[in-house]
Chains A and B, each alone.
Chain A
């Protein structure tokens, strides 16, 4: 504490303590005016004193004046030695009052003289500017100054930094300053004990600068062994943490992919898992949902552009209804006649899928259609270590979980869900109890298709809306169902998430395509061992 106090006192002397603590006070403005006079002085020594006095004054105008000076835009009038910041316009200069910043007329260039800077002055100005910015009233400027210091790690700025730290209450600015101080302290000018402590503090950060500084210390053979060891430990700490972030990023990506698979597979779980119908046109239901989103957005663009942010909220029910209507039509016209003949169902629905794809291609054209994202879905959250989490991915994860929960609730708590389970478990008995199983079939198929349509809304946000949209997901969705176990929504959740996460963890090693192949082969092998999937159905239904 004593050391710090002593340093602080030194700083007070150097920077005129009164001015620091009470900017705008009488003595401060006096110091500021005197400094301006000194800046216009002939000798470099006087100008140096002016720079120091200006820095000490902590006047709001000090920083702009100093930066104008270093840029060569600070002039003084030959007649009265008054300072101006100028903007050159040929031979005529626009004059600006350095304190108020207002235009103060024009003058011929001959009547003015530039305030000259040499390298020594330039260094002093930079230092003064850093000091001023570190104590600036604006938080953003203080943060930027601290970040700049972290990069330069200039030991000459240490006193300014310490002084600024004393005034900084806390928060991210203080953290940035402490990091900058550590960056200064780890330099070769400090004692080993200070350097070791600095290395430890740097080890708590993820910034590339901290890593570079530590790396330099580790690589420098002349450094004290204990310091190098500390730096190496700190560096390792950073690497470990970054690796952790990367893993977290991969898990997030995996969950994000998993949620997309989940959305595509939940509908399939209903039609395939509950009804035992292989619907190869399921992917096309997803596609229809995506195109419904496109149509809804076009309507919004045409009739109510100011409510465009609501378009997705409208698109969700619209896509559900469009796909569900199509599903009912498909069930009534084709699938109904093929119950109990799964292979024929597969072929017929594949035909339907071809027809739907070609129909959409004819109506909307073969190219990708533009589907916009509302503002509340765009943007990303930056995490440390270059890991970014986009908001639309978060929304899709939440949306997929909400859809799953809604479907589960429908199946468990509604009368329709009860009838559906009854028909699944024992159709003749359900018929005998007065349930119209034909109608339940239609409704079940509509539900499954509608959910696929809602998946299309989500996919339209992250994928191209083209006639082949559904095809990209159909094989994966079947894999999810087969992996998770037929007829079990929890299995679908676990299957989708684990496939997504595993996929994203394999990708860095093998590339996206090979990762997919590895997964497919692994699944084929998995099914050998457990043909019923992870969550096998028990009881009578399992024998079907």
Chain B
């Protein structure tokens, strides 16, 4: 299999056009122009691209390794918190309390000094790698514990859900030192550039698009080669793969860890664009929602996962604005309808449809 098939090329091209186009039309045209892309739309697209990257990470483990993780929101949130901590340290003396060292919420809690785990986050050289290292380390530990004891299927799903639930409870506590309920917010700038600046926002959008493209290529690279074949074998018949002499747990741990790091990058790019990270991101409901993005777009298709994330989130933005009551009905209905009627997802159904269409044409011809 080639690294870039037709689907992938279309995807990358569309992504480049979308991101570059939105950034260009936002920056180059005056606000009065008909084709001008407003600032909020740039932020929204950037957000969708982060979600797409997150969906891609879930598709890597669910679509190819058969691991239904209901806790990927935790990796996303951890990456986000690592970035949030860096942004908090960047505020410096400009906080409400004007403390040179401590973020506002610590001053409010009457803390005297920075907790040890906050040290180093003032430097981007430390904070940015942490966005990958922290989720990756947690995923490695989690995978090491579960895959080696051969916890699979729904058990694994429930444990991963418990993991993110426990983290949510922990991050809600004020004395954890992550801002408790309110999380981290009031960010000012990144790399010395104002976050509200249009150029910065366009830059973040482009960075998200680049990360998504990179994540896609990484997933493709991991899944087209021998590694990917073994991964799929593990998904479809774990015992048989083991009997053939492979160590399924090694493959699963690696895929899971890489996937968690991708989720962490998505979170790290998400936070500066929305301006807040709070413990709600850890909620199990969020993690399940990611799975439905993947299911809608097509499990195991990568491009479909990204597409599903954008589609579902666009519907969410639209419906929560237009008819907030309806959104949960639609989301719930989506869960049921997709699993019952479109189990392969939108992209997954296309080959079947094409085959049927060809059959009909041949039959008539």
Task: Give the docked Cα–Cα distance between A338 and B165 (Å).
Answer: 27
CB distance B145 to A524 under 8 Å?
Answer: yes
Q: Does B4 count as interface, using CB distance less than 8 angstroms?
A: no
| Binary contact track B94-137/A, C-beta < 8 Å → 1, others 0 | 00000000000000000000000000000000000000000000
Distance (Å) between the CB of A78 and the closest chain B CB? 69
Distance (Å) between the CB of A357 and the closest chain B CB? 7
Task: Give the docked Cα–Cα distance between A217 and B339 (Å).
Answer: 75
Distance (Å) between the CB of A477 and the closest chain B CB? 11
Task: Give the docked Cα–Cα distance between A347 and B287 (Å).
Answer: 11
Assuming the A-B contacts A337-B340, A353-B332, A528-B145, are A347 and B166 also in contact, with contact meaning beta carbons closer than 8 angstroms in the complex?
Answer: no
| Binary contact track B29-58/A, C-beta < 8 Å → 1, others 0 | 000000000000000000000000000000
Within 8 A of A (CB), among B320-365: 325, 328-329, 331-336, 338-340, 343
Task: Give the docked Cα–Cα distance between A28 and B24 (Å).
Answer: 111
Of B331, B340, B343, which one neighbours A354 at CB under 8 angstroms? B331
CB distance B165 to A520 under 8 Å?
Answer: yes
Distance (Å) between the CB of B146 and the closest chain A CB? 7
CB distance B163 to A351 under 8 Å?
Answer: no
CB distance B151 to A528 under 8 Å?
Answer: yes
Distance (Å) between the CB of B205 and the closest chain A CB? 31
Task: Give the docked Cα–Cα distance between A353 and B289 (Å).
Answer: 13
Q: Give the interface size class of chain B.
A: 35 or more
Q: Does B173 count as interface, using CB distance less than 8 angstroms?
A: yes
Assuming the A-B contacts A347-B292, A353-B332, are A362 and B325 also in contact, with contact meaning beta carbons closer than 8 angstroms in the complex?
Answer: yes
Task: Give the docked Cα–Cα distance between A46 and B158 (Å).
Answer: 86
Residue of B nearest to A486 (CB): B155
CB distance A513 to B68 under 8 Å?
Answer: no
Task: Give the docked Cα–Cα distance between A531 and B150 (Å).
Answer: 8
CB distance A516 to B169 under 8 Å?
Answer: yes
Q: Does A344 count as interface, using CB distance less than 8 angstroms?
A: yes
Residues of A within 8 A of B158 (CB): 278, 478, 482
Of B150, B165, B288, B329, which one neighbours A350 at CB under 8 angstroms? B288
Distance (Å) between the CB of A542 and the closest chain B CB? 14
Distance (Å) between the CB of A248 and the closest chain B CB? 28
CB distance A342 to B153 under 8 Å?
Answer: yes
CB distance A517 to B169 under 8 Å?
Answer: yes
CB distance A351 to B154 under 8 Å?
Answer: no
Residues of B within 8 A of A338 (CB): 339-340
Q: Does A523 count as interface, using CB distance less than 8 angstroms?
A: yes
Distance (Å) between the CB of A335 and the closest chain B CB? 10
Residue of A nearest to B283 (CB): A471
Residue of B nearest to A277 (CB): B154
CB distance B166 to A354 under 8 Å?
Answer: no
Task: Give the docked Cα–Cα distance between A126 and B162 (Å).
Answer: 65
Residue of B nearest to A280 (CB): B288
Q: Which of A343, A348, A514, A516 has the most CB of B within 10 A?
A: A343
Residues of A within 8 A of B254 (CB): none
Task: Give the docked Cα–Cα distance between A345 and B335 (Å).
Answer: 10
Residues of A within 8 A of B155 (CB): 482, 527, 531
Task: Give the docked Cα–Cα distance between A475 and B150 (Å).
Answer: 21
Q: Is the interface of B mostly helix, strand, loop or mixed?
A: helix
Q: Does A334 count as interface, using CB distance less than 8 angstroms?
A: yes
Within 8 A of A (CB), among B213-230: none
CB distance A347 to B332 under 8 Å?
Answer: no
Assuming the A-B contacts A354-B332, A529-B149, are A343 and B68 also in contact, with contact meaning beta carbons closer than 8 angstroms in the complex?
Answer: yes
Within 8 A of B (CB), among A517-542: 517, 520-521, 523-525, 527-529, 531
Task: Give the docked Cα–Cα distance between A475 and B288 (Å).
Answer: 14
CB distance B339 to A347 under 8 Å?
Answer: yes
Within 8 A of B (CB), among A314-368: 334, 337-338, 342-348, 350-359, 362
Within 8 A of B (CB), among A13-34: none
CB distance A348 to B336 under 8 Å?
Answer: yes
Q: Does B161 count as interface, using CB distance less than 8 angstroms?
A: yes
Task: Give the docked Cα–Cα distance between A223 and B153 (Å).
Answer: 71
Q: Does B22 count as interface, using CB distance less than 8 angstroms?
A: no
Assuming the A-B contacts A527-B159, A528-B149, are A520 and B166 also in contact, with contact meaning beta carbons closer than 8 angstroms in the complex?
Answer: yes
| Binary contact track B164-190/A, C-beta < 8 Å → 1, others 0 | 011001101100000000000000000
Q: Does A479 count as interface, using CB distance less than 8 angstroms?
A: yes
Distance (Å) between the CB of A324 and the closest chain B CB? 20
Task: Give the docked Cα–Cα distance between A334 and B158 (Å).
Answer: 21
Task: Give the docked Cα–Cα distance between A529 and B149 (Å).
Answer: 7
Assuming the A-B contacts A343-B157, A350-B288, A358-B325, are A475 and B340 also in contact, with contact meaning beta carbons closer than 8 angstroms in the complex?
Answer: no
Q: Does B291 count as interface, using CB distance less than 8 angstroms?
A: yes
Distance (Å) between the CB of A503 and the closest chain B CB? 13
Residues of A within 8 A of B150 (CB): 531
Distance (Å) between the CB of A153 and the closest chain B CB? 44
Q: Does B297 count as interface, using CB distance less than 8 angstroms?
A: no
Distance (Å) between the CB of A273 and the closest chain B CB? 12
Task: Give the docked Cα–Cα distance between A337 and B153 (Å).
Answer: 19
CB distance A350 to B335 under 8 Å?
Answer: yes
Q: Does B284 count as interface, using CB distance less than 8 angstroms?
A: yes
Task: Give the docked Cα–Cα distance between A389 and B295 (Å).
Answer: 49
Task: Give the docked Cα–Cα distance between A42 and B338 (Å).
Answer: 101
Residues of A within 8 A of B295 (CB): 347
Residues of B within 8 A of A344 (CB): 339, 343
Residue of A nearest to B62 (CB): A343
CB distance B149 to A524 under 8 Å?
Answer: no
Task: Give the docked Cα–Cα distance between A528 and B142 (Å).
Answer: 10
Residues of B within 8 A of A520 (CB): 162-163, 165-166
CB distance A524 to B159 under 8 Å?
Answer: yes
Residues of A within 8 A of B157 (CB): 278, 343, 346
Within 8 A of B (CB), among A412-427: none
Distance (Å) between the CB of B187 and the closest chain A CB? 27
CB distance A358 to B151 under 8 Å?
Answer: no
Distance (Å) between the CB of A533 and the closest chain B CB? 10
CB distance B333 to A517 under 8 Å?
Answer: no
Residue of A nearest to B157 (CB): A346
Residues of B within 8 A of A355 (CB): 328-329, 332-333, 336
Of A334, A343, A479, which one neighbours B153 at CB under 8 angstroms? A343
Residues of A within 8 A of B170 (CB): 513-514, 517
Residue of A nearest to B341 (CB): A337
Residues of A within 8 A of B162 (CB): 475, 478-479, 520, 523-524
Task: Give the docked Cα–Cα distance between A475 and B157 (Å).
Answer: 12
5 closest A-B pairs by beta carbon, nearest first, are A351-B335, A354-B332, A355-B332, A358-B328, A520-B166
Q: 7 more A-B contacts (CB under 8 A) besides A344-B339, A351-B333, A529-B149?
A: A345-B339, A351-B339, A352-B336, A354-B332, A355-B329, A358-B325, A475-B161
Can you give 18 contacting A-B residue pairs, CB < 8 Å? Answer: A278-B154, A334-B336, A338-B340, A343-B154, A344-B339, A346-B154, A348-B339, A348-B340, A350-B288, A353-B332, A354-B332, A358-B328, A358-B332, A513-B169, A513-B172, A520-B165, A524-B163, A531-B155
Q: Taking beta carbons and an 8 Å cutoff, which residues of A are in contact with B?
A: 278, 334, 337-338, 342-348, 350-359, 362, 475, 478-479, 482, 513-514, 516-517, 520-521, 523-525, 527-529, 531
